[in-house]
Structure 1
Amino acid sequence: VDDYEMEFAKRLSQLQIEPLFSCNCILNYLYGKLEGKKTGNITGPMTFGEIAYVLLNQTLVYVTYEEK
């Protein structure tokens, strides 16, 4: 990725979601230079990219609820 900060912001803006909960990997904050910046609807804590006890680097995870 040539410009991580720009690409991260672009892809985040394309998400049409309203998450109940979200987590963002701390590496996204470091590489994306997100300190002090808003990240749309992704407002949960920073983590180390660990999901279900498996380390997955640079993750962004969110939970939504849809009634059908």
Structure 2
Amino acid sequence: MSFYLRARSRIKHIQKILDTIGIGGERAQMYNLSSNDGPRFAEIAVEMDEKIRKLGPNPIKLAQNTAA
């Protein structure tokens, strides 16, 4: 199995775990880019930043802070 396929499988597994524990699997993403894809990398970084901001803070951390 190639590195890419193994990494993709691990990301899917991590997403399931994050969904199960209530953090949200969409917080973990994997993108396949080449070293000369600088502009695409910048686009993805902006997209992920927007997604994470919409999701808000880690819900488990928020619950711990309010319980303390």
- TM-score by length of structure 2 reads 0.34
Task: Give the structure with the larger strand fraction.
Answer: 1
The higher-RCO structure (CA 8 Å, 6+ apart) is: 1
Task: Give the structure with the larger helix fraction.
Answer: 2
- TM-score by length of structure 1 reads 0.34
